Amino acid sequence: MSYIYRIENKKGESCYNVQWTDAIAKMLKDDCWNQCHLNRPFTEYDKGIFRKIKKQEVCGFINIRQLLRWFNSKDIRQMRKLDFNIVKVKVQTITAIGKHQVLAIR
């Protein structure tokens, strides 16, 4: 078993879940959020992954340092207002490690 770090709600849903994206995008009005293709790349553009996420996978971070390069303290405070928190998640396997994120199977 391995562990990854994620920002998710109590249901285990990611802040990038379709139903939450608009609410979080409104909360996070910094340039980094609006230019996610530069600082928060899709998995198919992340060095080390270069593919779309599979249905059984989740995105996360290999360590807290990687998470904090993606989300700054302001982002995290704003997401806490929407009941999203940093969690350490036990996963069966890490399927890909990118420069900015990892993919894993719970």
For residue 34, give its domain range: 2-105
pLDDT of residue 23: 66
For residue 100 the two structure tokens come to 């900015």
Torsional sign, CA 76, 80, 81, 83:
positive
Task: For residue range 27-45, list pLDDT tens digits in order.
Answer: 655 545 445 545 778 889 8
15 or 68: which leads in pLDDT: 68
Task: For residue range 52-85, list pLDDT tens digits in order.
Answer: 999 999 999 999 999 999 888 888 988 898 889 9
Backbone angles phi, psi at 76, to 5 degrees: -65, -45
pTM for the full predicted model? 0.82
pLDDT of residue 3: 98
Name the domain count of the chain. 1
